[in-house]
Amino acid sequence: MIENEQLQHWIDRVDTELVRYFANKDMSCNPLDRAMEYTLLAGGKRLRPLLTMVVVAEFGKDPEAAIPFALASEFLHTYSLIHDDLPCMDNDDMRRGKPTNHIIFGEANAILAGDALHSEAFLLLAGAPHETLSAAKRNQVMVEFCEAIGKRGMVAGQVMDLAQTGQETSQAQLELLHQRKTGALLRFCVRLGAHLADVEQNDLDALTAYAEKLGLLFQVVDDLLDEESDSTTLGKTSGKDAGQDKATFPKVLGSDEAHDYADTLLEEALSALEKVSRPLSFLEEIVRYVRHRDH
Amino acid sequence: MIENEQLQHWIDRVDTELVRYFANKDMSCNPLDRAMEYTLLAGGKRLRPLLTMVVVAEFGKDPEAAIPFALASEFLHTYSLIHDDLPCMDNDDMRRGKPTNHIIFGEANAILAGDALHSEAFLLLAGAPHETLSAAKRNQVMVEFCEAIGKRGMVAGQVMDLAQTGQETSQAQLELLHQRKTGALLRFCVRLGAHLADVEQNDLDALTAYAEKLGLLFQVVDDLLDEESDSTTLGKTSGKDAGQDKATFPKVLGSDEAHDYADTLLEEALSALEKVSRPLSFLEEIVRYVRHRDH
């Protein structure tokens, strides 16, 4: 975990609000709420909502008011995990140290829980009250969210991932795949915070550059961990990528070179932060954590 | 088909714009666009976009400007069809007279095509230009859309449908199920047109009542057709409900009573229309068509 009391406090706030969201379950539609809640509350680093809250806080605005918006990305991320884990996709039995959603609720309910989390993410963005976010800017946020997660973003990345399994893959292809599959949503999370804090264009650009490096770094480290860690530490099955013959950064670049590349991406992310008009110590800490995390 | 030249023209406009939407396919992410397009363009009554365009036109506004918004419901409906047809759900091989999406593209791509259509529906609502729709009203439209399609609407209905298969079901339970599974989106389509045309509250309420009766009628007739028609006319497998031991209106009420109920719902929908401040001949024609359609 991130060893910083303030960051941990925000992560705890996310967890608390996720629990509260499902406090009044709709019993007329069992087991939908239970299936949605199961994977949402199964743990996780909460990196996506954290990024949004941190950006808001770094610009002197109230991160509490950002929470409903920040949760949207966690809902969206969780839907993607549930669908990616399905037997016809990555066929994973373990996630966040627990049996995957379809193992507990069955495939049909898992798909539907994902679908409902997907819609609910939009409800959070469209419906959450916010004192200073204009309706026009909220529309812009929704458009950016769609671009990040749909056929130009996350879903496209997953389709590329499935199609390229077992194929020869270049570094450029691998980067495009991950820029879509995980990078686009992380980029959105940072920009969401920037929109909520109403930052200047120059700061928005620098934060976007930071987010893009962070996203790629996140995936390079993910690949390295999959190769080097054991399943208990990861909370999911390790060595899956090699077993499924997936292209990874260590495989395409070599392990040492992948470590070097991760270091370079860290430096580039830190350089981007220096272009922002104020010091951003929490964002610096987060990208260092992403480089050196062990799960 | 609906035998009305003006209505058919609007349906043709929807079909033309759907084709145009996928004219420039993203070849970097084959086969996602192809899988999305396949089921979208496989035909269908286009009832949902038609409802939106008709309401706009009946209030003297330009239905062409409503098309991108109207398409959103067709994207959303198509995603739900693709997911509902999956082997772990209704396990359908035929839809709109053609093999279902997963038969052609495989289960993984079918799930992802549905996911991408889901996100893209939001992009249409959030991003389509419109001269008179305020940003605040657009936000309200997005909130209503989420409520109609997610864990309080369509997805909840599908979960109830799966859970109640083979169970004793009352008329009230069956109505709640279908109000969620198909009624909520049809209701949204009518209200979307009303929002785009910026109608008075009184008219909005009457149109909403019309839409609720129409939605229920649609399902009662669907159940009757499933029982009474052959697969060629339906374009999908007939007699599926009985084969899967699903609760239907003819089963719960009896066939004759289900026909009577459909007639009652038609009358109630027409009564609701009479409360609107202007004559609405196209909406009248549509609900008569929904009562007497043969597929």
Candidates A142, A281, A139, A274; CA nearest to A206 is: A274
Q: Does A76 touch chain B (CB under 8 A)?
A: no
State the pLDDT confidence band at A5, using cuts at 50, 70 and 90. Answer: very high
List helix spans (H) across chain B: 5-21, 32-40, 47-58, 63-84, 101-105, 107-127, 135-149, 154-164, 171-178, 184-196, 201-228, 231-234, 240-243, 249-253, 255-274, 281-292
pLDDT for position B244:
72
pLDDT for position B236:
63
State the pLDDT confidence band at A272, using cuts at 50, 70 and 90. Answer: very high
Please answer yes or no on whether B115 and A118 come within 8 Å at the CB atom.
Answer: yes
Candidates B110, B56, B105; CA nearest to B85 is: B110
Helix (H) or strand (E) holding A19: helix A5-21
Candidates A210, A212, A162; CA nearest to A184 is: A212
Q: Which residues of B touch A109 (CB under 8 A)?
A: 159, 162
pLDDT for position A30:
74
Residue with tokens 């392990």: A255
Given a cut of 90, whether residue A262 has pLDDT beyond it is yes
Minimum-distance CB partner of B155 among A30, A32, A151: A32
pLDDT for position A246:
87
CB–CB of B129/A4 below 8 Å? Answer: no
Given a cut of 70, whether residue A250 has pLDDT beyond it is yes
The model carries a pTM of 0.95
Given a cut of 70, whether residue A1 has pLDDT beyond it is no
State the pLDDT confidence band at A290, using cuts at 50, 70 and 90. Answer: very high
Helix (H) or strand (E) holding B95: strand B94-95
Q: Does A139 touch chain B (CB under 8 A)?
A: yes
Q: How far apart are CA B180 and CA B286, in angstroms?
A: 21
pLDDT for position A27:
67
pLDDT for position A206:
98
Candidates B57, B59, B53; CA nearest to B200 is: B59
Helix (H) or strand (E) holding A67: helix A63-84
List C-alpha distances in Å: B36 to A131, B32, B68, B88, B133. Answer: 38, 6, 17, 20, 28
Cβ atoms < 10 Å from Cβ of A43: 13
CB–CB of B148/B212 below 8 Å? Answer: no
Minimum-distance CB partner of A155 among B32, B107, B135: B32
Q: Give the closest-approach CA distance of B42 to chain A in angstroms.
A: 20
Q: ipTM of the predicted structure?
A: 0.95
pLDDT for position A200:
97
Residue with tokens 């739900």: B80
User: Which chain B residues in 26-65 lie under 8 Å from chain A, judged by CB atoms?
Assistant: 26, 28-33, 36
pLDDT for position A161:
92
pLDDT for position B43:
85
State the pLDDT confidence band at A42, using cuts at 50, 70 and 90. Answer: very high
List C-alpha distances in Å: A69 to A149, B99, B203. Answer: 15, 40, 33
Tens digit of each residue's pLDDT (9 = 90 or more) over A88-138: 999 999 988 899 999 999 999 999 999 999 999 999 999 999 988 999 999
pLDDT for position A231:
62
Domain range list for chain A: 5-292
Could you tell me which residue, B232 or A266, shows the higher pLDDT?
Answer: A266
Minimum-distance CB partner of A123 among B111, B138, B150: B150
pLDDT for position B241:
67
List C-alpha distances in Å: A220 to A47, A147, B268. Answer: 16, 23, 61
pLDDT for position A3:
78
CB–CB of A99/A93 below 8 Å? Answer: yes
Mutate to test the interface with B, among A122, A169, A173 (most CBs of B within 10 A): A122
Q: What share of chain A is helix, strand, coil (3-state, %, to 5)?
A: 75, 0, 25
User: Which chain B residues in 153-212 lie under 8 Å from chain A, judged by CB atoms?
Assistant: 155-156, 158-160, 162-163, 176
E-only strand ranges, chain A: 94-95, 98-99
Candidates A245, A220, A250; CA nearest to A167 is: A245
pLDDT for position B15:
97
pLDDT for position B29:
66
The mean pLDDT value for A251-272 works out to 97
State the pLDDT confidence band at A228, using cuts at 50, 70 and 90. Answer: confident
Minimum-distance CB partner of B109 among A31, A107, A159: A159
Please answer yes or no on whether A159 and B119 come within 8 Å at the CB atom.
Answer: no
Superfamily holding A5-292:
Farnesyl Diphosphate Synthase (1.10.600.10)
- pLDDT beneath 50, residues of chain B: none
Enter the DSSP assignment of B21: H
Tokens, residue B126: 């959030």
**Which chain B residue lies closest to A89 (C-alpha atoms)?**
B108
Q: What percent of chain A has pLDDT over 90?
A: 82
State the pLDDT confidence band at A229, using cuts at 50, 70 and 90. Answer: confident
Backbone phi, then psi, for B213, in 5-degree steps? -70, -45
CB–CB of A95/A39 below 8 Å? Answer: yes
**What type of residue is A290?**
V
pLDDT for position B235:
63
Q: State the first-to-last Cα distance of chain B, in angstroms, to the nearest integer.
A: 9
